[in-house]
Amino acid sequence: MQLKDRVVAILGLGRSGLALAEVLHGQGARVIVSDQRSAETLAGISASLPEGVLLEAGSHVQATAEADLLVLSPGVPRALAAVQAAEADGVEVTGEVEMAFRLGQSPWVAITGTNGKTTTTSLIGAILAEAGLDAPVCGNIGDPVIRHCLDPHDALVVEVSSYQLETAETLKPKVAVFLNLTDDHLERHGSMEGYFAAKARLFAHQDPSDHTVLKAGDPWAERLAEQVAARLWRFSPDPLETGVCIREGEAVWVEGGHITRLWSLADLRLRGAHNVENALAASAAALALGVAPEVIGRAVGSFEAVPHRIETVRTARGRTFVNDSKGTNYDSTLKAIAAFSEPLVLIAGGRDKGGDISPLLQAIVDRVRHTILIGEAAPYFARCLEAHGHHAFTLAADLADAVAKAAEACPDGGVVLFSPACASFDMFRDYAHRGDVFREIAGCWEP
């Protein structure tokens, strides 16, 4: 892709925006970075912009007027009025993930879905590292993929969100993984159909030389299977005639009547049925790349939980504190609750994303001894629980107050589970910041 002397406007100065500015400026583009926040708010990050990159703060007027290419950060929707107007005037609009693919030369292993992306992406990276491959893990996890695209690698292991896929036009992964689809981000995509359509863009340009990994029997996955041209690799916690599945406590690959052992459930260090599925999906992706079954088994058996996803922080005075700050929607918290047999005290709340809360409410009624509610969603969650006939909850002033109240309500041998079921932006920068704060508070707790 020829960028030299092109006027490129990057909308949104976050992690991706800064990485885009550095890479595109290095490719000879005349770069404008535009963000609707004030110059004072942006001062910390804008100081890292390369010399010669222009900054427009407070609006997108200059950027959309002068650029012949707009590159959107994931947080900037394509439906933004300024973007729509520029596009109507013939300005090309794309995003960071699409730019990285166009500029790069390495095959992609791309993972999407509502829940489980980070664990599955990290596990695929661990398997490929065990196989001796140079395969950076990047994208919606860790470094923006644009930072890795210019150098040759055996593969790029890329977590891809629906926001990033809105601007994908030519993206063609060698292996693409679809994990699941549940209520989330509907405020951005408008409906489950819109959400699915964004996810499906990851698979739109694959051909029979590529590979698609998806869950057998899942309605959204099977709908996707009807659309893709790539070779299908199905996974399931139930036995399959063909695919990667569980049989008699063993993860196996069934193909052409042959059964190949991969790993044992007893070896898996990750909690929860959902993590069994994540490990199966990662194994299928690795097999699609030709990784030996014994290598997959070694990597899965040694893999620990990723930060902020059902991550044990400490055990003190008979209570185990678990950080699941990555639980940003109802379904992910539902899965986290199901991962424990111990007595549970749940800390939940934040900025609610909407969706059908009923299954989560029922899980709380059935499995949670007491719930501590925080953030903007606390009054709503309280009303929902009361309407469900459940009154074992307490509102907390902040996260420190919530941890103290949760620890007090938790019996010996119990678990304090921080799984908010909400976005973090009412109180924190992002889920990682929220999880780090929980770690710090839980790490210092004393009765």
The model's pLDDT over 6-34, given as tens digits with 9 standing for 90+, comes to 999 999 999 999 999 999 999 999 999 99
Over range 161-174, report the average pLDDT: 95
Closest CA to 127 of 367, 307, 301: 301
Share of the chain above pLDDT 70, in %: 99
Alpha-carbon dihedral sign for residues 261, 266, 267, 271: positive
Q: What is the mean pLDDT of residues 391-414?
A: 97
User: How many whole angstroms separate alpha carbon 173 and alpha carbon 152?
Assistant: 15
**C-alpha–C-alpha distance, residues 399 and 434, integer Å:** 9
At the topology level, CATH places domain 7-94 in: Rossmann fold (3.40.50)
Q: For position 1, what pLDDT does the model report?
A: 78
d(CA 347, CA 370): 9
Fold of 104-302: UDP-N-acetylmuramoyl-L-alanine:D-glutamate ligase (3.40.1190)
Beta strands in 340-433 (DSSP E): 344-349, 368-374, 393-395, 414-418
Look at phi and psi of residue 217 and say left if phi exceeds 0, alpha if psi is from -120 to 50, else beta.
Answer: left
Structure confidence at residue 189 (pLDDT): 72
Query: Could you give the angle at which helices 293-302 and 273-288 cross, rounded to 10 degrees?
Result: 150
Q: How far is CA 99 from CA 77, 89, 105, in A?
A: 16, 21, 12
Q: What is the pLDDT of residues 236-258, one digit of tens each?
A: 999 999 999 999 999 999 999 99
**Residues 284-299, mean pLDDT to the nearest whole number:** 98
- Whether residue 301 is predicted with pLDDT greater than 70 in this model: the reply is yes
In sign, the C-alpha dihedral spanning 434, 440, 443, 445 is: negative
Question: What beta strand segments (E) does 113-241 contain?
Answer: 137-139, 156-159, 175-178, 211-215, 231-236
Which position has the higher pLDDT, 254 or 183?
254
193-215: average pLDDT: 97
Q: Which amino acid is at 26?
A: G
Please write the tens of the pLDDT for every residue from 317-351: 999 999 999 999 999 999 999 999 999 999 999 99
Query: What is the pLDDT averaged over residues 40-46?
Result: 93
Quick one: pLDDT at residue 186? 62
Pick the closest to residue 66 from 9, 1, 3 (CA basis): 9
Give me the mean pLDDT over the 348-364 stretch: 95
pLDDT for the residue numbered 86 = 93
194 has pLDDT over 90: yes
What architecture is domain 311-444?
A: Alpha-Beta Complex (3.90)
Residue 146 CB-half CA count within 13 A: 24
Q: Is the pLDDT of residue 63 over 70?
A: yes
Q: What's the pLDDT at 283? A: 98
The string of pLDDT tens digits covering residues 75-129 is 888 889 999 999 999 999 999 999 999 999 999 999 999 999 999 999 999 999 9
Q: What's the whole-number mean pLDDT along residues 39-68?
A: 94
Length of the chain (residues):
447
Helix (H) or strand (E) holding 286: helix 273-288
Q: What is the pLDDT of residue 364?
A: 97
Q: For the chain, first and last CA: distance in Å?
A: 60
Residue 65, C-beta contacts closer than 8 angstroms, at least 6 positions apart: none
Domain spans in the chain, listed from the N-terminal domain onward: 7-94, 104-302, 311-444
Average per-residue pLDDT for the chain:
95
Inform me whether the pLDDT recorded for 361 exceeds 70: yes
Confidence at residue 433, expressed as pLDDT on a 0 to 100 scale? 96
Query: Which tokens sit at 68?
Result: 């012949």
pLDDT for 299 beyond 80: yes
Q: What is the pLDDT of residue 190?
A: 73
* Single-letter amino acid, residue 226: E
